[in-house]
């Protein structure tokens, strides 16, 4: 298990995503899967930067549980206002250029890139857990 705690602001995105990427690399994921895991992590973190702490500053904690050559579980925790990213609506993927809305893609990418996703509110924390298996069950 390894953990990083940083202020929940966009300036720390690179450090946080880099931390997850390194955990994923050590777990044994291919370069292609690393980019997908980075994408799911960035989208989860940016949601927290944007919504978790509207009035005060706060922190985000990212914990990686790794089983070499098997799976990576990423737990992303903040102490902000209750916010379930899984409750966000899916974007309209078929709209043309004029109709297409800006936004809504973040949660869609998280769902696409990970195998299991879970949200829970516990002791004043938002906890989002993403699980990715090395050998995806088809």
3 vs 100 by CB, closer to other proteins = 100
Closer residue to other proteins in complex, CB, 1/48: 48
Q: Quick check: 138 binds other proteins (CB under 8 A)?
A: no
- Least CB distance to other proteins at residue 40 (A): 10
Task: Give the dihedral of Cα atoms 121, 125, 130, 131; nearest 10 deg.
Answer: -80
Spacing of C-alpha 138 from chain mean position: 22
| Angle 19-90-117 from CA coordinates, rounded to 5° | 40
CA dist., res. 70 & res. 59, Å (int): 30
133 to each of 6, 49, 113, 120, 138, how far by Cα in Å? 26, 27, 11, 21, 11
Q: Does 108 bind other proteins (CB under 8 A)?
A: yes
Using CB under 8 A as the binding rule, whether residue 36 contacts other proteins is answered as yes
Q: Check residue 59 for interaction with other proteins (CB under 8 A).
A: no
Please give the residue ranges that form the binding site for other proteins (CB under 8 A): 10-11, 13-14, 17, 32, 35-36, 38-39, 42-43, 46, 49, 91, 93-98, 100, 102-103, 105-106, 108-109, 112
């Amino acid at each position: 298990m390894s953990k990083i705690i940083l202020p929940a602001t966009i300036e720390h995105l690179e450090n946080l995503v880099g931390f997850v990427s390194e955990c994923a690399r050590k777990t044994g994921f291919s370069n292609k899967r690393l980019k997908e895991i980075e994408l799911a992590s960035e989208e989860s973190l940016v949601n927290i930067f944007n919504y978790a702490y509207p009035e005060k500053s706060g922190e985000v904690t990212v914990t990686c549980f790794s089983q070499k050559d098997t799976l990576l579980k990423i737990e992303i925790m903040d102490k902000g206002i209750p916010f379930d990213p899984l409750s966000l609506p899916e974007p309209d993927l078929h709209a043309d250029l004029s109709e297409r809305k800006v936004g809504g893609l973040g949660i869609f990418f998280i769902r696409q890139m990970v195998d299991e996703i879970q949200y829970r509110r516990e002791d004043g924390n938002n906890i989002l857990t993403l699980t990715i298996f090395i050998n995806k069950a088809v």
